Amino acid sequence: GPVSAAGDAIKGRLGETIEIEDGQRAAQLAALNILAQVKSALNGDWSRFGRCLRLCGFVNSTPDFTHQPAIINGASDLMVDLFGDAGRHSRSAVGVASLPMGWAVEIDAIFEIN
C-alpha cells in the first residue's frame, strides 16, 4: 500500500477526499514499496531482475470517478522510468468501494526474476 518509511499512509477516496495528483503519488509510493519487496526477493542482486510483467491497481474511488487509469499511471510510469523496456507491463486499473486501512490505492505485481 501507499505507506511511507515513517508509517504515514496516503488515505482517502478519489472523487471525494483526494485529488488525482495525490492518487498518482499514492500509486507511485505503493510501487516503491513493491520494489522494496522485489529487492528483498533478489537478496539485493538487481542483476537477477528480469522484468515487470503485470500490475493490477485498485483505486479507492466514488462510483462516478472514471480516472482510475490515470491514477495507476503513477506506478506504471515509475516502472518504465526505472527499468526502461523491462519495466513495460500489462496492467489493470480497477475502481473499488474501499481498501484496507482506508488506503487510496493498492497494487499487486508480477515480476520475472532470473
Is residue 8 in a domain?
Answer: no
Residue 103 lies in a domain: yes
Residue with cell 488506503: 103
Q: What is the mean pLDDT of the chain?
A: 97
Rounded mean pLDDT of 80-107? 98
* Residue 3 DSSP SS3: strand
**pLDDT mean over 66-91:** 98
pTM over 0.75: yes
- Residue among 85, 100, 96 nearest 30 (CA): 100
**10 part of a folded domain:** no
Q: Domain span at residue 50?
A: 20-113
- Total structural domains in the chain? 1
CATH code of the domain in which 64 resides: 3.30.1330.40
**13-37 residue pLDDT tens:** 999 999 999 999 999 999 999 999 9
For residue 26, being part of any structural domain is answered with yes
Quickly state the pLDDT bin for 70 (edges 50, 70, 90): very high
Q: What is the pLDDT of residues 45-62, one digit of tens each?
A: 999 999 999 999 999 999
| Residue 1 belongs to some domain of the structure | no
**Residues 66-92 as b or e (16 or more Cβ within 10 Å = b):** ebbebbbbbbbebbeeebeebbebebe
68 belongs to a structural domain: yes
Q: Name the region of 44 (left: φ>0; alpha: ψ -120 to 50; beta: rest).
A: left
Average pLDDT over residues 103-114: 97
